[in-house]
Every structure is written in structure tokens, then in C-alpha cells.
Structure 1
Amino acid sequence: MSADEQNSKIPLRVSNNTAYLWNVDDIAKLRSKHHICGILTGTLPHLSQQNAFLGIPLVLLPEEVVLLVENGIVVLIDDPTAHAQPNLVEIESWNNEQQALFRQQTVANEAKFAKQEQSRSLSEDAIQKRKEREERRRLAAQKLAQDVNNDNGLFSTESEPVTKEATLATPQSSIPTGTYTISIPASSEEYQWYSPHHATFSTIESAQKAGIWTYPSNLNERARCGVFRSLSEQGYFMGSGVKFGGDYLVYPGDPLRYHSHFVATVIDSPTQTLRPMEIIAHGRLGTATKKSHLLCTWDDEKKQVSYLSIEWASFG
């Protein structure tokens, strides 16, 4: 696969056999175009103590990862390997680059501040000249009033003092007080020793061979991947169904807008024994939560899924 093809795909960072997604735009794209919801597990800035609303990273279900890789939408990146350990020379070189960047930004900020100070000085000079003109006009008017009073006594020699409000007040300056803003790169991808190209895998087989991914490794995991793919291709959204006694919750649309209609349970084989007590439990639980329970049987030879829904019915 060429570098351009890899760059066009969404990178999933894999660590400890778990796939993480850190980019908000990629999260929105997977949700809107590919019906992949995942689970947000990160804390929110300034709200780290609450757990009602979470933020990035997004942790994907193993079935979601397999589906996305097989469809050519994402690539897997071995994140620990991608972060190469820098040597002292590389660290010193990076520090020098950062110091040079900081000095460059400081010089630019100082030049901008000096220009603003010069503009402020010119404005103050203009204001002072205007105040002087107003004062000369006031004195001239006062002298004229005195002259007229001396002639006919109709005007008083006293004139109202000019208050501070009568003069042009100096506006408050909006010039910054010398505080500079320095931009510091926050992403590890900016570092010269971060190189994911040699640790990128575009197939499940290559990731398994490299030892960074193990799913699916047995019949049950293959069945879960097959059922997940079948439901996804029919346009459904899926989430974890552990709270409702199944493997998946099946939504007709985005879970932010719809309630789930089904609780899906994966059955590994068409010949697998299903106890009557399980059927009763699934039926009762589905009815209590206003859902139908969906039994999804996987045929590993034919790679097909068959469905059977259970819904509790009253008698009499």
C-alpha cells in the first residue's frame, strides 16, 4: 500500500490490544458515515471529576475495529512502537528548535508591542494638542467677556471654571501591558522522533502477525464479528448490550436520537444447544426493557447469520 493510500485512511492507535481514536473529526466521520459509535472514555477539560459526560479518546469495540479494517476505512498503528525513544542528540536538537521558535515569537511580539506603544504615543500627543487649543479658545472667550463688561457692565467678570469633564478626557488605552503569547506544539506528531509509518498495518492478518492485535482468535469471536457485520450492513447502529443481558444493543438510527429496538445475543453455531431457561430469561428481560431479544446464529462454514426474535406474550 502506498503512503498516500495510508494517509487517506483514519489511524487507530493500538495499545495493549485496544484501539483508540483521538481525532474529533475522525470520530464524527465514523459515526455519521459508517455507523460506528464506540465509547468515549476521556475526561473533559475543567470537569475531570464528573463522569456523566466523557470526551476523547474513543475506544472501539473489537468487532468495530475488524469491520473498519476489512472495509479499508482505517489502519492500525502500533502506538508504543511509533513513539521511538530519542537519543540525547535528538532531544538537544529539538530543545534548540523550540528555543529558536520561542525567541522568534518573542521578537515578533516585542515588535508588535513597540508599534502599539508608538501609536499610543502619537494618539496622546494629538489629544494634548487638542486640549491646548480648547484652553486657548476658553481664555480668548473669557478675555472677550471681560472687555465687554468693562465697556457696559452688562457681563460679569467671573466665568464658570472649566471642569475636568468639560475637557476632552483621555480614553483608556487598550494596548496590552507587555504580555506575550507563545505557541507550544501540543501534539506528539509534531516531534521528529514520532514515526508511525513503520508501525502501520492495513490488514487484520498483518497486525496479528506483528503481535499487536489478536481479534478474532476463536469461533465465538468470529461469530461476533460476523453478526456485527451483518447488522451493520443492514444500516443498524450497535452498542454494548451487557446492561440488558445481551451482546449488542441494536438501534435503528443514531443512539443520540433513537432507543434500541433489539438486544442481540450471538450464538456460535446453528447446532448449539439453547436451554429453555435462557429463552424465558431473554423473553422476560426484553419485555421488561421494552425491547425484543434477537438470537443471532452464526454459521462458520457458510459465513451466514440467521435471526430469531423473542417477545413475551400474555395468555388468556
Structure 2
Amino acid sequence: MNDTKFPISYIHGKYLLFDIEAIKYFREKYHILGILSGTLPQLPQQNIFLGLPLQLMKEEVYYLVKNGAAFIINDGNVHEEHFNSLTDNDRKAIADERQKMAIEQMLTARTKENEKKIQIMKKINKEIPLDTLEYDSTKPVNLTMVPVDTNTKGLKSDHLEASSIGLPEIERSRYLIFESLVMNGFFLNPGLRFGCDFVAYPGDALRFHSHFLVNGYNWNDEIPLLLLIGGGRLGTGVKKAWLIGGEQEQCNSAASDDNNLDRKYRQYSIEWSGFG
């Protein structure tokens, strides 16, 4: 069993994971999917085949922290503190390493370009000037494409956890149905594209088609009839069922005070018969 707590980075209102080991662990043990949101610097508008970081919903963050699997850090503050603690020699070593990586990238790109030119010369039987493969130290190196290590694994875990921040504010009705489904083996993704809170999968979303459109409610919330009809029709139309749930409160017969209530979470699925 892995007892390690992983840091979740809080950056400009978003909760992000940069550690692939944390992503694998959360997915396998806690059924947390998240949304990959990273793009390549060369292709900032790409919207498929995205990579790290993984963005988490507030409900996912709350669930992980509540179960002792993670803690939240203010990423900007932590890295600023870490950078300020570096000596001049440490900073010079980091700058030199980035310079070295930039030169290697540049020379690799030139080598590939020369290979293309050689192939073209063979076809047209004409000489084309090749790029030099020697580095001119008098010219500045472009560091734009050099990756920066944003992983917090290099920082001490106890220091990170000591500087952790509080839990995100969540809507209780949304969180309770999220928690209920995850604890029963479902995997959940955001449901915005279907106009619901979540989309639920009976197993890993890479292997299964989603089964439910999910909305959480308070037990005494009134649900308009048109919404019941529309939710059922929409779910059936996209080969899913509409799942709603709420926290039922029942007074304990042994004690009648407000602090002694037996709470049970109930769920109901709605389908449109003969439709879709």
C-alpha cells in the first residue's frame, strides 16, 4: 500500500497535478480521472493528445484530501520560496543546464534540417547550403522552447505539507453524489457538455462507455417536471440514463435532537421509455 501523500498544485484558481506517479496512483486507487490540459509550446492551440498537467475538479481535490491521499499547495508561493532559498551557485547551475539543453535542441533541429536538404539535393541534383553544426557563443540562445522543471518532487515532502493550504469550497449536493458514486466503483468526468454535473462510467473511461448523466440535489429540492422529462429524454437519447441523488435525513428513534440523525444517500435513475 502506498502511504505517500502527493501535492496538488493550486495555480490561478485551478488544481493541477504535474507528477505522473500521482496521476497513476489516484486513477488506480481512487478512480480519479481529471482532465489533461497541457499543450506543446510549438502547438499552443492543439486540443487533442493533450499532456500534463492534469486538471482536477474541486470535488476530486476534496475527495483526495479527505481520504488522506493528497494535500494542496500554493504552487507559486512554494516555488518562489524554494528559488529564494537557492544559492548563487545553485542558480548558475540551473541557468547553465537550461543553456546546455537549448544548444542541444538547436543543433538537433539543424541536423534534421540538413538531412532534409540532403534528400532534396539528391532529387534536384543541385547544391543547397547546409546549416552549421557549430555553436556560436557570441549569439544568444533562445530559451523559449526549453522545458522548465515544475515538478515539486525535488522539494522536501514534509516542508510542502507543512505549507499546505485549505480545502476548496464545494457545493455539498454535488460533492455527495460524486463521493457516493466513486465509492461504489464509478469513474466521473465533468458533465458540462450534457448539461449535468457529472458523467459516470462503470469502469475506467478508457475502457467503458459512460452510463449515467449525473445531478446532485438536496433532499427537499423541488425538481420541475419539465426538467425530469428533459433529463430523461436527453439521457436516453445519448444512450445513457439520468441519475439524480440526494442525502436523506431520518430522525434516529433513540434520540430526537438535530445532532443525532441517520443520513442515507439515495439515488434514482430516470429513462424515457420508448424513446431513442
TM-score range, shorter chain: 0.5 to 0.7
- Tell me which residue corresponds to 1:214: 168
- Tell me which residue corresponds to 1:187: 149
- Tell me which residue corresponds to 1:155: none
Q: Which of 45, 55, 72 is 1:59 aligned to?
A: 55
The answer to whether 1:286 aligns with 2:235 is yes
**How far has the Cα of 1:214 moved from its partner?**
3.4
- Tell me which residue corresponds to 2:15: 19
1:46-100 deviation per Cα after TM superposition (whole angstroms, max 9, x unaligned): 544421221110010111111111111112112122123556x956332454589
Bigger Rg over Cα? 1
Structure 1 residues 70-79 or 302-311, which shifts more?
A: 302-311
1:250-301 deviation per Cα after TM superposition (whole angstroms, max 9, x unaligned): 1011111111111111112x11111111111111111111111001113476
Contact 2:6/2:71 (<8 A) preserved: yes
Cα distance in 1 for partners of 2:178, 2:226 equals 25
1:192-207 to 2 correspondence within 5 Å? 197-198=158-159, 200=161, 207=165
SS in 2 for 1:69: helix
SS in 2 for 1:305: strand
* Pairwise CA RMSD: 3.5
Contact 2:8/2:15 (<8 A) preserved: yes
Cα distance in 2 for partners of 1:47, 1:29 equals 29
Contact 1:226/1:303 (<8 A) preserved: no
Contact 1:78/1:200 (<8 A) preserved: no
Cα distance in 2 for partners of 1:237, 1:224 equals 15
TM-score (norm 2): 0.67
Paired AA for residue 30 in structure 1? F
**How far has the Cα of 1:101 moved from its partner?**
8.2
- Tell me which residue corresponds to 1:151: none
The percent of aligned pairs where both chains have the same amino acid is 35
Q: Which of 34, 38, 42 is 1:42 aligned to?
A: 38
1:1-316 to 2 correspondence within 5 Å? 8-44=4-40, 46-84=42-80, 90=86, 92-97=88-93, 186-188=148-150, 197-198=158-159, 200=161, 207-208=165-166, 213-216=167-170, 221-268=171-218, 270-299=219-248, 302-314=262-274
SS in 1 for 2:28: helix
Q: Residues 96 and 54 (structure 1 numbering): CA distance in 2 closer, same or farther, change over 3 Å?
A: closer
In structure 1, stretches of 5+ residues that fail to align are: 106-176
Cα distance in 1 for partners of 2:206, 2:228 equals 30
Paired AA for residue 200 in structure 1? E
Q: Residues 275 and 197 (structure 1 numbering): CA distance in 2 closer, same or farther, change over 3 Å?
A: same
Cα distance in 2 for partners of 1:63, 1:191 equals 24
Q: Residues 303 and 44 (structure 1 numbering): CA distance in 2 closer, same or farther, change over 3 Å?
A: farther
TM-score (norm 1): 0.59
Alignment length (residue pairs): 219
In structure 2, stretches of 5+ residues that fail to align are: 101-132, 136-145, 250-260
